Amino acid sequence: MELKLINDKGKSAATVAASDALFGREYNESLVHQIVIAYQANARRGTRAQKGRSDVRHSHKKPWRQKGTGRARSGDVASPLWRGGGKIFPNLPDENFSQKVNRKMYRAGMCSILSQLAREERLKLVESFSVEAPKTKLLAQKLKQMGLGSALVITDDLDQNLLLSSRNLVNVRVLDVNHADPVSLIQFDHVTDATKPEIKAAVELMFKTKVKTVQVTNVKGKDKRFGRFEGRRRNWKKAYVSLLPGPDGKQQEITFQAQE
C-alpha cells in the first residue's frame, strides 16, 4: 500500500510505502458503527437527575378521605399521577452509559477507518506541519494553500504553536497520535464541496457511462419547526448531469438517490 506525500502547496510530491495490515483492510461498516457508538457512550457522563416520589417537596397528608366524596381515591399529592409529583423511574446521576469494546475489535475498527480514508484519498501525509507563531491566521493561510478545508491534524510531537493556532478554527482539530479516536477520524474531511469534474468522474465510475455536462445549483435550506424550536436546515447543492448517447444512439437514463 502506498500513500501520497504532499508538499506545502497540497500537490503530491512522493509516495510512502505503508503496511497493508493497517491501510489495506476491507471496510467493516458494522464494526466501525459499534466502536463509534461505544466511544461516544463512554464519553457520556450522568449529569442529569430527576426527583422521585420521596424527593419532591410536598405534604404527605392524605388530600381527602378514602370514601364518600365521589372522587378517585388518593393518598399523597406527591404521586406520579399528579401534576408536580415525582417521576416513576427517575434518572439518577450515577447512571452508567459505558459500553465494553474488546481491544482487538477497537484496533480492527481503527484499521478499517484508516484503510477507507486511504482509498478515498482523504488521508494525506506531510514531512512536517507547524506554524511559526501561535496565530490562527497563519494556520488558516497554510491550510488554504494546501487545499485543505476541514482537516484533522495528527502529529507525533504536539507543537504548542500549532495547538493554540487551531483552537479558534471550528473545522480544524489537532491531536497527538496517541489520542486519535474513531469519531474524529470520520468527522473531518479535507474536501468541503464536490466540484463539477469530481461529480463527472464519480458518475462515470459508478454507472460506466459518459457524462456530457454537469450543472450545479445552490438549494436554500427549508425552515423547520421541531416542537417549540424553530430553525433552518443547512443549504445544499443539487447537480444536474446530462449523459452522452449510448453506442446504439439512444439517450441513456440513470436513476439513483444520493444522500447529503
Query: Got the DSSP string for 40-62?
Result: HHHT---------TTTS----S-
pLDDT, position 260: 46
pLDDT, position 90: 93
Lowest mean pLDDT among 85-89, 137-141, 216-220, 232-236: 232-236
Average pLDDT of the chain to the nearest whole number: 84
pLDDT tens per residue, range 162-184: 999 999 988 888 988 888 899 98
Query: Ramachandran region of residue 170, left (φ > 0), alpha (ψ -120 to 50) or beta?
Result: alpha
Question: Stretch 94-116: mean pLDDT, rounded?
Answer: 92
Judged against a pLDDT cut of 60, whether residue 208 lies above it is answered with: yes
Question: How far is 114 from 119, CA to CA, in rounded Å?
Answer: 9
Fold of the domain spanning 196-243 = Alpha-Beta Plaits (3.30.70)
Question: How far is 171 from 55, CA to CA, in rounded Å?
Answer: 44
Judged against a pLDDT cut of 90, whether residue 88 lies above it is answered with: yes
- What percent of the chain clears pLDDT 90, i.e. is strictly above it? 32
Question: What three-state secondary structure class fits 201?
Answer: helix
Judged against a pLDDT cut of 60, whether residue 259 lies above it is answered with: no
Strands 211-219 and 236-243: antiparallel
Question: How far is 223 from 221, CA to CA, in rounded Å?
Answer: 7
Question: How far is 24 from 119, CA to CA, in rounded Å?
Answer: 9
Kindly report the CA angle at 61 between 57 and 66, in degrees rounded to 5? 135
Question: How far is 104 from 18, CA to CA, in rounded Å?
Answer: 20
pLDDT, position 198: 64
Question: Stretch 62-68: mean pLDDT, rounded?
Answer: 94
Cα 125 to chain centroid, rounded: 22
Question: Cβ-count burial of 152 within 10 angstroms (0-12 exposed, 13-18 middle, 19+ buried)?
Answer: buried
Judged against a pLDDT cut of 70, whether residue 9 lies above it is answered with: yes
pLDDT, position 192: 38
223, containing H or E segment: strand 223-226
The better pLDDT of the pair 195, 167 is held by: 167
pLDDT, position 257: 46
pLDDT, position 254: 58
Question: What three-state secondary structure class fits 200?
Answer: helix
pLDDT, position 79: 92
pLDDT tens per residue, range 108-134: 999 999 898 888 888 888 888 888 999
pLDDT, position 197: 75
Question: How far is 184 from 173, CA to CA, in rounded Å?
Answer: 8
pLDDT, position 206: 67
* Predicted TM-score (pTM) of this structure: 0.64
Per CATH, the architecture of 1-47+98-126 is what? 3-Layer(aba) Sandwich (3.40)
Whether the Cβ atoms of residue 163 and residue 131 lie closer than 8 Å to each other = no
Domains of the chain: which residue ranges? 1-47+98-126, 128-192, 196-243
Task: Supply the Cα-derived Rg of the chain in whole angstroms.
Answer: 28
